[in-house]
Structure 1
Amino acid sequence: MHLPAEDRRCSPYTGWTRAHWEAVADGLLAAVRPHASPGQALIHLPGPRPSISGRRSDGLEGYARTFLLAAFRTAGAHGTDPQGLLDRYAAGLDAGTRRPTLERDLADGDAESWGVIADRSQPMVEAASVALALRLTRPWLWDRLDDAVRQRAGAWLAEALRRTPVDNNWWLFPLTVGGFLAEAGIETEAAREAVERGLGRIEQWYLGDGWYTDGRPRAFDHYNGWALHLYPVLHAHLAGDAALLARYGARLEAHLDGYARLFGADGAPVHQGRSLTYRFAAAAPLWAGALTGHTPLAPGTTRRIASGALRHFLDRGAVTADGLLPLGWYAAHPPLVQEYSGPASPYWASKGFLGLLLPADHPAWTATEEPGPAEREDAVVPLPQPGWLVQSTAADGLVRLHNHGSDDQPADRVHADDPLYARLAHSTATAPVHEGPADNHFALLVDGRPSERGRIRPLGTGPGWAASSHRPRAGGGALPGVTVTSLVLARGRDEVRAHLVTGAEAGTTVRESGWAVAGTGVEAGTERLSARVRTERPSAGARTERRLTAELAGVHGYTRASVDPVPAGTAFGPAAAVPVLLGTTGEGTRLFVSAGRLTAEPAPAGEQPRVRTEQSRVCTEQPRVRTEPTRDGHRLTVDWPDGTRQRAELAVGSVTVRTL
């Protein structure tokens, strides 16, 4: 991509301005052009395999999601379109809606049609992007179409109003289609009903403080921002509905107060939840707040975080040499690919360009960049609704999310753990291990295999702490009578984790793992992986050449330590290592306590990361921790290096914490 020169006066943190966003949008759109079908209705991008919806649906996805980017680009330029983007997407709208697509149509030479929108079908998702793009570009595209094309396109979109969506954020796709069709005068009653149904459904999932679940009791992730807030707020804004905007804008503002803390100083969003291949779509709710005036952030902070996110991915290879977005986090990374993901799925990243709808003279574009929350000061902030504790440190700009509330489990059954939800912690610099030893996990070993966390029961959050309990699972079911009550205390860069195990058979091995730090390879092979082990305090650590360091030390209950290699790596690098502690249960209730940290320092320019283990003592200057049994469980007292003291009482399924 050809980018303009940096502007360090206006953008001292990122150097990027609106012109950079426009240049990136132009580059992404130019790169997909060679992959369009002759009639422009389908964009077939290269990829390892089609999604479960099939190649035709994937081609529609390529059209719809890049159309959304083209709409932001041209609407933000008041219709100026030197690349002729809208002509191509208008042609695709014509070709794509000529007739329903059945498998036999391929034999009839139909290589363009989009197919019928059916219940819970992927075309319903893409119809929302098409409708939103048409709504944004209406004066320059829709209003200039032939009546026959408008009728066909309107009829195709209207099918979304009558179909049943997946029972999660998908309810917002008929809402988005309905918003456009009502404005265009097409099936207005059905369109308005679709809007009301969508808003009514997500109302049942709103917990307060700006947080929704996503159709499951404890499903919290980036969909809160790039879907559950984005679509209602955009609809209210475009419809000019002041009452609706006041309602959903206030929720967005509350959400952004915590959400802005989930970006590191290097621009990375916290790596947690599904569909992470959408990457810088994480910037969408930040721009939505600025666009509607419902944000707690200063204009310069909004741009600093959003531009930081976009630049973070581009600087780390998220765009291929051909200018395309692969399925992954930086480069292609197969473990991040969901079954619904097709080669064009990453282009929901287009949502991150919502800021182009702001006028060029808007303060979000003209104000001097200001630091994001992670850069200002050390902070440990509870987010009660998702059950999260957000820990950030200004010296290295890292953000850590301690998870005691999000599991993505359905209400009627328990699935196998998803590493992107079930881990005890996530961060802006690490990713969970998908193939290999689990990171940030506490488990009982059953027949040599670690138990799963399963459904998480939140026990509360507060200043510097979060807690939960779970019934460990093995072999597809909960271990009879076993409960693990977990607590994290955090301050500065340090964290203390405690797990009270009740009901386990005496002599059962337990395993606690820390952060998985990843790089380009493990130094001198896995035989070099080791940990410093001492009788009183087993400890382990792993460090990359970029100085990203994971440390874990046993405080109570642990007797052994190791560093487990992850040859398959994570989304942050092709090889990784995880510090591990091991202990053994006794009769009755047993407490296990560890002290750890994830830290980083800036690396010299061009230095390539590799992973090695620390032979030196880890977790030096760690908090002092004292434990003592109580009638119902254990008491934990933590004296932090800055003089703060916290005391916690742990019992089965119950935790209380006080700052003394």
Structure 2
Amino acid sequence: MTAPHVSLPGDPTHLLPPSDHGLSPLTGWTRVHWEALADRLLDGLLPYATPGFAQYRLPGPPSHSGPWSDGLEGFARSFLLAAFRIAGSGGRVGPALIERYATGLAAGTDPHHTERWPPITDRAQPMVEAASIAIALHESRPWLWDQLDEPVRGQVVEWLGHFVGADVNDSNWRLFQVITEEFLASVGAPHSRAEIDAGLARLDDWYRGGGWYTDGDGRKFDYYNAWALHLYPVLWARIAGPRADPDTVARHRTRLREFLGVHQHFFGSDGAPVHQGRSLTYRFATAAPLWAGALADATPLPPGRTRRLASGTLKHFAERGVPDERGLLSLGWYRPFLPVSQRYSGPASPYWASKAFLGLLLPEAHPVWTATEEPGPVDTADTTLALPAPGWLLHSTAADGIVRLVNHGSNRLPPPPATAEDSPHYARFAYSSATAPETPAGPDNHLALLAADGTPSPRGRIHPLGADGRRAASRHGGIETVSVVHGPWEVRVHRLDGPPDSPVREGGWAIADDSTPAESRTGPGRAWARRADGLTSALVGLYGWGGAEGTVVHVVGANAVGEHSATPCLELAAAVPVLVTLVVLSADPQVSITGAGATVAGDGTVEIRFPDGTRERVSPPESL
């Protein structure tokens, strides 16, 4: 019996091909599913194209760069997707797709056209979009660039050429200059080899080992490591060809290989990536480095696992209404949710998700498309993984397929002495593949001293103290925290050096759902909330919380995962020197939150007992 076609949620007119559980036993998705979803995304943009196809003016609030730049963004980021689709099929797509991007290139780069693009100027958004256009032109060269009239090629070169000598933000933006100028070099246009080399050298400055870059100076660890800092060197090498320095290419490939050995652990069994960092509206762009590793022969992953992880995350969002009924990617996670966006985010910004379709450049006969899917790490065993460079600790559980990230090292603050407000996507103690932080900031995964008016202290700058084995530690303000993980459990040991009369509050995981508020229970020194599907968040005071009463904070409209969210909390009337807390997030009905305990010896050594009887010791000062 032939498997039925399946419609996209909320859009019964667009059918996905039947699932193939022979080739893809875990997701059912194959290359034809990727092609179908790419086509749906490209078709969904058509009603919002300007007459000359140079801009896509999508509905939604404009970015701080304004609608003119946002329209260019719509062209550039969707052109990236179109180029992967065109090149991946050897040009065997409807001619209208190629023609509309050729038409848009001619109109957008014509300085006298009503749809002309904003110029590339110092530190301006068109720099970002120029790199996408350069990549798309290179990858689709036989079907687009080589077919453009000479005057149009001249216009494109003139527009891109304003990158040469321009002032660039000292972050992943340096790679936009590298990419754009390398494309100019590939077509014999003026460029600066010194600027290309300087951008690549700056990337080396940010490398912290273990496959990890920080995005610019500081400790800015997030998915930009995946969809920018590792991705663009691979794409640069494809454009540069024999012009690329072999040692530089080899160095990037070695780092990417090491990173992918870790990155594979960031996806839950349902395909959801861990929800941490900025620009999360790019969603399944988290799959881009998986394909990049296969393209560059720089991956430790079996081809069937590469596809399982990439298809899993694309399918995860497709099953939750992404794209929406119009075929559009909204500013949000599942539904529209503006708090996951930034000032630079415009209606077309989510189309950086096009990078996820990089795998279409691999031939249909490539093993990533023909090998049988293999399980991801979370599918088969519990894992604990310390990541010293970003100061993170991952622990995942096969029983519920959840990946949890304990954060003792990444924040969005510029280097000292600069200060900024906490970002809930960086300042929490933990993130996961099943939850999102309360945004704007709530009490979740945070320990705060409370001012007289109830205002919580920020976490502020995170000073990492190490990550090794099953534990990681950091200091912020007057608080030092050690996290020890075991299975689904985390125990946090807090040592407080602050006003003893200050009330203190700790929050656990925020769980969210669109349909109904979570069930909750509270008691002395404990609180828990449970979603209808069984996802449970619990907080238990193990030491120092005597007299604390548990509460559950219910909020509407503050969570990317769902409209209704709930966070278990403990609050103490006056701070004590040591607090020990059991923090639990699990969808396993067998998980226990009882039987845990902690004692503190006279020298400050903390003895921890997990609910299953496993014991750990935390000695002061913690040395990892």
TM-score between both structures, scaled by the size of structure 2 = 0.94
Is the counterpart of residue 96 in structure 1 residue 113 in structure 2? no
- Please tell me whether the aligned partners of residues 96 and 114 of structure 1 are also in contact (alpha carbons under 8 angstroms): yes
Aligned to 1:570: 559
- Please tell me whether the aligned partners of residues 437 and 564 of structure 1 are also in contact (alpha carbons under 8 angstroms): no
Cα distance in 2 between the residues matched to 1:301 and 1:269: 15
- Please tell me whether the aligned partners of residues 538 and 593 of structure 2 are also in contact (alpha carbons under 8 angstroms): no
Q: Secondary structure at the match of 1:294?
A: coil
Q: Secondary structure at the match of 2:559?
A: coil
The structural deviation recorded for 1:231 is: 0.3
Cα distance in 1 between the residues matched to 2:77 and 2:186: 21
Structure 1 unaligned residues grouped into runs of 5+: 101-109, 472-482, 603-616
The structural deviation recorded for 1:199 is: 0.4
- Please tell me whether the aligned partners of residues 379 and 401 of structure 2 are also in contact (alpha carbons under 8 angstroms): yes
Is the counterpart of residue 520 in structure 1 residue 514 in structure 2? yes
The residue type paired with residue 656 of structure 1 is: S
The structural deviation recorded for 1:585 is: 4.2
The structural deviation recorded for 1:377 is: 0.5
Aligned to 1:493: 488
Is the counterpart of residue 296 in structure 1 residue 285 in structure 2? no
- Please tell me whether the aligned partners of residues 422 and 453 of structure 1 are also in contact (alpha carbons under 8 angstroms): yes
Residues 556 and 358 of structure 1, relative CA distance in 2, 3 Å threshold: same
Aligned to 1:557: 544
Q: Secondary structure at the match of 1:282?
A: helix
Aligned to 1:227: 228
Structure-to-structure mapping, 1:439-478, within 5 angstroms: 439-447=444-452, 448-471=454-477
Q: Secondary structure at the match of 1:121?
A: coil
Q: Secondary structure at the match of 1:571?
A: coil
Q: Deviations over 1:160-212 (max 9, x none)?
A: 12211111111010111012111111114x1x233212101111111111101
Question: Which sits farther off after the overlay, 240-249 or 178-187?
Answer: 240-249
2:46 to 24, 27, 33: 33
- Please tell me whether the aligned partners of residues 409 and 463 of structure 2 are also in contact (alpha carbons under 8 angstroms): yes
The structural deviation recorded for 1:513 is: 0.3
Is the counterpart of residue 62 in structure 1 residue 68 in structure 2? no
Q: Secondary structure at the match of 2:623?
A: strand
The structural deviation recorded for 1:621 is: 4.0
Cα distance in 2 between the residues matched to 1:94 and 1:75: 20
Equivalent residue pairs, number: 604
The structural deviation recorded for 1:35 is: 1.1
Q: Percent identity?
A: 50
Cα distance in 2 between the residues matched to 1:326 and 1:509: 40
Is the counterpart of residue 78 in structure 1 residue 90 in structure 2? yes
Question: Which sits farther off after the overlay, 392-401 or 552-561?
Answer: 552-561
TM-score between both structures, scaled by the size of structure 1 = 0.89
The structural deviation recorded for 1:569 is: 3.6
Aligned to 1:105: none
The structural deviation recorded for 1:533 is: 1.7
- Please tell me whether the aligned partners of residues 120 and 163 of structure 2 are also in contact (alpha carbons under 8 angstroms): yes
Cα distance in 2 between the residues matched to 1:222 and 1:436: 20
Structure-to-structure mapping, 1:302-321, within 5 angstroms: 302-321=306-325
1:413 to 403, 412, 418: 418
- Please tell me whether the aligned partners of residues 425 and 437 of structure 2 are also in contact (alpha carbons under 8 angstroms): yes
The residue type paired with residue 100 of structure 2 is: R
Aligned to 2:9: none
Aligned to 1:356: 360
Is the counterpart of residue 9 in structure 1 residue 15 in structure 2? no
Cα distance in 2 between the residues matched to 1:462 and 1:401: 14
Structure-to-structure mapping, 1:225-304, within 5 angstroms: 225-240=226-241, 241=244, 242-304=246-308
Cα distance in 1 between the residues matched to 2:612 and 2:538: 20
Is the counterpart of residue 649 in structure 1 residue 619 in structure 2? yes
Residues 369 and 158 of structure 1, relative CA distance in 2, 3 Å threshold: same
Q: Deviations over 1:533-585 (max 9, x none)?
A: 23xxx110001101110011001111221111112240010010100011244
The structural deviation recorded for 1:338 is: 1.0
Q: Deviations over 1:357-378 (max 9, x none)?
A: 1111111111111111111201
Aligned to 1:479: none
- Please tell me whether the aligned partners of residues 99 and 115 of structure 1 are also in contact (alpha carbons under 8 angstroms): no
Structure 2 unaligned residues grouped into runs of 5+: 1-13
- Please tell me whether the aligned partners of residues 521 and 576 of structure 1 are also in contact (alpha carbons under 8 angstroms): no
Q: CA RMSD in A?
A: 1.7
The structural deviation recorded for 1:627 is: 1.9
Residues 618 and 390 of structure 1, relative CA distance in 2, 3 Å threshold: closer
Q: Secondary structure at the match of 1:594?
A: strand
Cα distance in 1 between the residues matched to 2:109 and 2:251: 36
Q: Deviations over 1:316-348 (max 9, x none)?
A: 012111111110001100211211111100000
Is the counterpart of residue 592 in structure 1 residue 575 in structure 2? no
